Amino acid sequence: MEGLMQPILNGILLGGLYAVIAIGMSTIFGIVKLVNLAHGDLMILSGYLSLVLITWLGISPIVSLLLVVPVMFFVGVFVQGVLLNRVLGKEMEPPLLVAFGLSIIVQNFLLLVFTPDARSLMTDLAVKTIPLGATLNLPVLYLADFLIGVVVIFAVYLFFRNTYLGRAIRAASDDEVGARIMGVNTKLIYAYAMGIAMMTAAVAGVLVGMTFTFYPHTGPQYLIIAFGVVIIGGLGSMKGCLVGGLILALAQLLGAHFTGPGYQLLFGYAVLLIVLGVRPQGLFGKI
């Protein structure tokens, strides 16, 4: 039992990070009814962007967010406004395939520019831990991931609840025709929504880059994590995002604790498939 405390603690903290990874995808899923298959890759793109900034300017990854987040906002507006908005319609395949194509483009572009080497965003937080007992340690980096994750999710929640743009986005999502009649430019609104989703992806990308190593091909792995969180927690639910993140991270770390790290991801996927089979709308989703 003693040995279980560490993976449980790490799982909870990692759950916060998983929630930020997923929040952007969940938002777009809920508002534009679109699964952004390039979400993971655009997240990793932010990681590389931050890498370039910290090498050029010698700043810390957290400070680089000041630049990476606005840049990713415009990337998101561009992706939605120029590519995805043009194929939105009755059928679900075209937007999905465009996003898939985008994912391939981003991956191979990164491969071309940055080579397949493993990268990470160096911080001095990485080695610090706070001892909580004889065998239990609190990794500071994981704690930072968790806290930043919770802050981001709360900020997104407040944005959608309290700002004009946030309410307009929700209105466009609830009743597209109605919103258009009331003078809302829904296509533009979707572009802003993607911009905001990409801002969260930027934070997620930098946190992931600080916590783990990443390669040009790491994107799909995080896409599946994001998707898992969204599925477990339920569509478009902020609370679901946090709980889904916790469950997925705990399943992975406890799985790894019992069987070795090679199978860590396998446990996450298995939990995901079970939830999909048993309760497809997720724990907090409406049918």
Query: How are beta strands 137-139 and 129-131 bridged, if at all?
Result: antiparallel
Distance CA 49, CA 36 (A): 20
Q: How does DSSP classify residue 92?
A: S
CA nearest to 92, candidates 104, 84, 80: 84
Distance CA 117, CA 29 (A): 32
* Residue 283 found at the interface with another protein (CB under 8 A): no
Distance CA 62, CA 69 (A): 11
* Residue 258 found at the interface with another protein (CB under 8 A): no
Q: Tokens standing for 248?
A: 């997925």
Q: Tokens standing for 277?
A: 């089979």
Q: Which is nearer to another protein, 126 or 266 (CB)?
A: 266
Tell which positions 131-150 bind another protein, by CB under 8 A. none
* Residue 171 found at the interface with another protein (CB under 8 A): no
Please give the angle made by the CA atoms of 76, 146 and 246, to the nearest 5 degrees.
90
What is the number of other CB atoms lying within 10 angstroms of the CB of residue 133?
9
Q: Which residue has the tokens 């705990």?
A: 250
* Residue 5 found at the interface with another protein (CB under 8 A): no
- Per-residue binder mask for another protein (CB under 8 A), 109-128, x = binder: x-xx----------------
Pick the stretch among 108-116, 118-126, 175-183, 246-254 that binds another protein (CB under 8 A): 108-116
Give the length of the chain. 287
CB of 170 to another protein, least distance (A): 21
Pick the stretch among 54-62, 85-93, 147-155, 189-197 that binds another protein (CB under 8 A): 85-93
Q: Contacts with another protein: how many residues (CB under 8 A)?
A: 36
- 3-class SS of residue 169: helix
What value does the CA radius of gyration of the chain take, rounded to a whole number of Å? 19
* Residue 213 found at the interface with another protein (CB under 8 A): no
Contact 169, 193 (CB under 8 A): yes
Q: Which is nearer to another protein, 144 or 271 (CB)?
A: 271
- Per-residue binder mask for another protein (CB under 8 A), 214-253, x = binder: ------x---x--x---x----------------------
Tell which positions 174-193 bind another protein, by CB under 8 A. none
**Binding test (CB under 8 A) with another protein, winner from 96, 136, 155, 188:** 96
Binding site for another protein (CB under 8 A): 35, 83, 86-87, 92-94, 96-98, 100-105, 107-109, 111-112, 220, 224, 227, 231, 262-263, 265-266, 269-270, 272-273, 276-277, 280
